[in-house]
Amino acid sequence: MVIRHLARVADRLPADSSAFLATSDATDAVILHLWQATQVVIDLALATCSHLNLGAPTDYADGFRRLETAGLIPADLASRWVRAAGFRNMVADAYSNLDMARVYHAAQNGPVDLKAFLVCVRDLLQQQT
């Protein structure tokens, strides 16, 4: 599901940031699919915390911090995933006030980190079996 959303982001993201306009259908599609991919990764982080008995995260970012504190994910990626949780909240709570330059940057750079999280979770689960 994450990969499908990220493919839609890549498909609709303009090559130049100047074409990333707040009122375009392409921009809406990029934001929606990036938000959905981010939400799935957040949900997976929270479920992983539960599965590994790391306690209940107090918010979305805390799930990534708990996984980092337990030594299960790298600190640099955990920091970026915490920012991804902030992006998710920003889209959900202040859609009309989004900074399009920041969203464009997230759409260009965030998918790599989201995919990296999937790899980390896969590796953790394989170690469990």
Tokens of residue 32, six digits? 């929606």
Q: Considering the entire predicted model, what is its pTM?
A: 0.91
Tell me if 48 is assigned to some domain. Answer: yes
Contact call for residues 7 and 28 (beta carbons, < 8 A): no
Tell me if 73 is assigned to some domain. Answer: yes
pLDDT score of 91 more than 90? no
- 16: amino acid identity, one letter: D
pLDDT score of 35 more than 90? yes
Q: How high is the pLDDT of residue 124?
A: 85
**What is the total count of domains within the chain?**
1
Tell me if 14 is assigned to some domain. Answer: no
Mean pLDDT for 112-124 is 91
Tell me if 50 is assigned to some domain. Answer: yes
Summarize pLDDT for 57-81 with one digit per residue, the tens.
999 999 999 999 999 999 999 999 9
Which residue do the tokens 């902030």 mark? 86
Tell me if 120 is assigned to some domain. Answer: no
* Domain enclosing residue 60, as ranges: 2-8+24-111
Tell me if 46 is assigned to some domain. Answer: yes
Q: How high is the pLDDT of residue 22?
A: 84
Summarize pLDDT for 3-23 with one digit per residue, the tens.
999 999 999 999 999 999 888
Collect contacts of 41-49 with beta carbons under 8 A, ≥24 apart: 41/2, 41/81, 41/84, 41/114, 41/117, 41/118, 42/84, 42/85, 42/88, 44/117, 44/118, 44/121, 45/81, 45/117, 45/121, 48/72, 48/121, 48/124
Tell me if 47 is assigned to some domain. Answer: yes
55 Rama class: left (phi>0) / alpha (psi -120 to 50) / beta: left
Mean pLDDT for 87-114 is 88
pLDDT score of 47 more than 90? yes
Tell me if 118 is assigned to some domain. Answer: no
Q: How high is the pLDDT of residue 15?
A: 93
pLDDT score of 97 more than 90? no
Q: CA dist 58 to 9, 23, 47, Å?
A: 29, 34, 13
